[in-house]
Structure 1
């Protein structure tokens, strides 16, 4: 007899004895007797309530000082006294502690008591004995109550509580404590996943039944058929009250199902009626007495050990998560900015390379852009890149030599090539290749310039606009270049081979031919001084 029942019976005995004394022995007015009787009943009721509260508090305080190295498993449901003494709250094994939960209403208070001492329940073993329920509706109601309590705890504490379903029934084998012996983890959050899980168990069941009877893993076909029928009954009547069609927030996490041998059966149970209707066979009623506590199934490894986080640690984790999120956003933004800047530098380089050498104006504009980029790159290297390109992603420094090479190459070409452009309007009449009488006024400056650079070869190129046909334009441009060369040869001491003459016609315009201003610029004679070793 437990202490709780003993104190309850003691209070009832005291109340009955007091009432007998008042009404049968004590000779006083009936009004006084009535008042004293009411007072005694209320006093005993108050003492009983205090007694219940004290025992409940004692049960919770007994959960204190749980070793941190132990896995904590809550054992709930039916027939708990088969595994844990009725007078005890918990049972300690080698590396796990199994805590008894008598009623679903106690589940929240026990979980709260564990949380107060920074301990987390690693999982729940919900034991159901279908032989105890003559009607399946009673079992479904009990399952629904446990499900609601577990989902409430998961919602309150924002934690996942793995659930193992234990079916306590007769397995028709006195040597079999539970099945399966090696329980595998299979997460189920909806009914279809349970169906897949049971199919895997059935394959394992068939393989064990086919083994030689001398092998330790062997189970009889009778046990196999009983387990198979129980699976079908669970799917049809029980699982639908345990798991939804589709998972929702804080729905149950069913990780395994294990059958525990009760060593006795009840033919009036709804589950046994299902077995009889399905097979037409009646399992004989029998009872096998088991001394001592039963062995728990090996399910601890299916429960991932969860570590408790205090509020300070949670806030620290939140801070770290926000910091990492900030770093991720900053890194992503820096990556985009660096990629944009890298593309800008590469595009500027490629545009410069793609411009033909005779388009001096376009090349000059491109060089201006490259010089701005060069200055920006130098500033980044000297003073550091801007924050938006930070986070260790700035790698545009290796492009500085490439930009410097473009600029230096252009400057060297400019130094090697010294060009004077002469407007043909000042030298020739329209469509003519003979120099005007006053053309020497323009060419005199060119002569002085050529004589000042005697070690440089002189290139004379004639150009026209696109008026007329291409062949005549090329002939006219070449004749005009020859006329300028002949004048310079006659006016100087340089031999004729000191000059090189080309006629390009309208093939190398420096401006558009769509308007008079552009066509006027394209009608020109270009005189270029180059080094003697330069080849164009």
Structure 2
């Protein structure tokens, strides 16, 4: 069940991405197909890697299995025991549970960040209950150099634990040492040093914690002498820690961070030590009499008395983590969908605006262009009316649709300006209708150029034949572009292309230059929406209009006189 939430998040992200691509983004069909396939492939790879990462992580944390971890609903503290931890656990045991906490043994320093990552993957709800205990036994070491080297390794491992979590775990340390005289104390004695207590505190089960000085002063009779000895013993231990442990862990060294303990404690209990260990060496340097070695076969007590003093954070469940990231994905989807809807609406408004502008500019022209412009507006109005009745497509929705305010404008334009009537058949017998030839710019010119291509001759020859069949009229050559690029550049490019067509017909067909009128409209007179590749292709054109007019010019070889 815990592995299901990351997979659900991955699947949710893929579904939202496909929804954006297919339902909102203004892309061509080929682009939608390619992006959809890419999303599906990425989702499949992520699911496969998640499953492989889970298996690899479980195998890399040697010794510790998932059954050693506390259950997901565990309410107590979870402590990762580092350092000298063999005396705290039974042989071949990796976990130890008490009334207040769940202690996990960390075999070596490289295993610590992996174990934290394992918790983050399989027990995310227990991460706020995690803490790191650095256990030290000076009686288990004989060489101070080896002991400091081990501390450096744990220092690096603790610093790496924040990488999978994004925050540092609470770190606390406890030192176990034998009492000054074997058999003096029947039960272990616990001492702690807290930041909010200036003096060492004595922890006694079922009693209020006492400062060390008060604990010694309250002792009477025969019990006072052991308490004084214990206080002196504790002072020697603190001096050893300040000389050996504190300089190593509290000072950064290279890539090793400085470690700060939230709590430090001492447990005085019989410890099975090595001969000539660090603690014996330290005591002998002061008294010249090494302490006697104490032996015990059972596991030493765990510091449950210190757990209430540890910092606590509220826990999170896998469900809350899932809904948090699902909310982030939903928010990102909504923002991108609204952006795409805004772009679609702006493009739609520009297209209708172009149609309205074209319709208004046809005032005073011949009837056929007016009729074509009117038909475009009627088609736009019919589409808006259909959306008003049946619902707006989702790519224009999300509260950004503005077609309702465009429909009255279209209806008013169609009502205020009626199209001019087509010429009467009787008139056409005496005055020929103007004829317009549309030439595709890409068949004549390279993209962004105005020099005729070598293969454009066949297209121009057909137009020249039509011109020579109707001699004496004015030949209007108009260049047009789409809305891609700078408007001023597009206007100049359209004019240059029209001049190139005129020059070819003048030089090749012998048509006098006085028979031509050259115009460059740029992107101002589209015949199709610029929002699609097909519409932009139709707008890139050169129009040749043959205007009838007797004696407008003279074609060589004809009997028509050139007008004055």
Give the TM-score, by structure 1 length: 0.41
Give the TM-score, by structure 2 length: 0.40
